[in-house]
């Protein structure tokens, strides 16, 4: 089977940059960004679990929801960084030769301005959305 993509001969790859540093640190960033807010929510709830005195459950729930929101925001930011790193790595990767696309007017480009005789016979241009 013939390979569909051929590497461009003579292409020099760009040196790796910050994208590889970020790519390698993303798992740790994801882990710590998930564990720390959950730990803070647990620390905030722990005194309420240990005491027999009923606490303000509404404030605890709002804190829990806030920490869940922080974790979800963090996940979306990490996903955005991962996509950005992947795009940059693909763009810096090897170049490939595309299939030939024959252009019909490549040898003789179209004229830039129409003839005066064509302009007399063409209908005036109007905005179709005005009615």
15-46: per-residue pLDDT in tens? 888 999 999 999 999 999 999 999 998 988 88
Domain hosting 79: range is 15-96
C-alpha 32: how far from chain center: 22
Position 123 in a domain: no
Written as one string, the DSSP assignment of 4-72 is: S-EEPTTPPPPPP-HHHHHHHHHHHHHHHHHHHHHHHHHHHHHHHHH-SS---HHHHHHHHHHHHHHHH
Position 4 in a domain: no
3-class SS of residue 97 = strand
pLDDT attached to residue 96: 78
pLDDT attached to residue 103: 66
Position 113 in a domain: no
pLDDT attached to residue 59: 83
Cα–Cα dist 111/65, whole Å? 65
Cα–Cα dist 27/25, whole Å? 6
Q: Count of domains in the chain?
A: 1
Position 27 in a domain: yes
Position 68 in a domain: yes
> CA nearest 93: which of 2, 31, 20, 22?
20
Q: Which residues of the chain have pLDDT under 50?
A: 131
Position 84 in a domain: yes
pLDDT attached to residue 129: 53
Position 120 in a domain: no
């Amino acid at each position: 089977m013939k390979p569909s993509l051929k590497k461009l001969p003579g292409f020099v790859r760009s040196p790796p940059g910050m994208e590889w540093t970020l790519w390698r640190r993303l798992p740790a960033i994801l882990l710590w960004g998930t564990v720390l807010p959950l730990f803070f929510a647990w620390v905030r709830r722990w005194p309420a679990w240990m005491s027999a005195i009923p606490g303000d459950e509404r404030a605890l729930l709002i804190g829990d929801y806030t920490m869940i929101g922080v974790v979800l925001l963090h996940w979306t930011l990490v996903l955005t960084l991962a996509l950005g790193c992947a795009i940059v790595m693909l763009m810096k990767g090897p170049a490939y030769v595309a299939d030939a696309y024959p252009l019909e007017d490549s040898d003789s480009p179209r004229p830039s301005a129409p003839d005066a005789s064509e302009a007399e016979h063409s209908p005036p241009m109007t905005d179709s959305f005005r009615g």
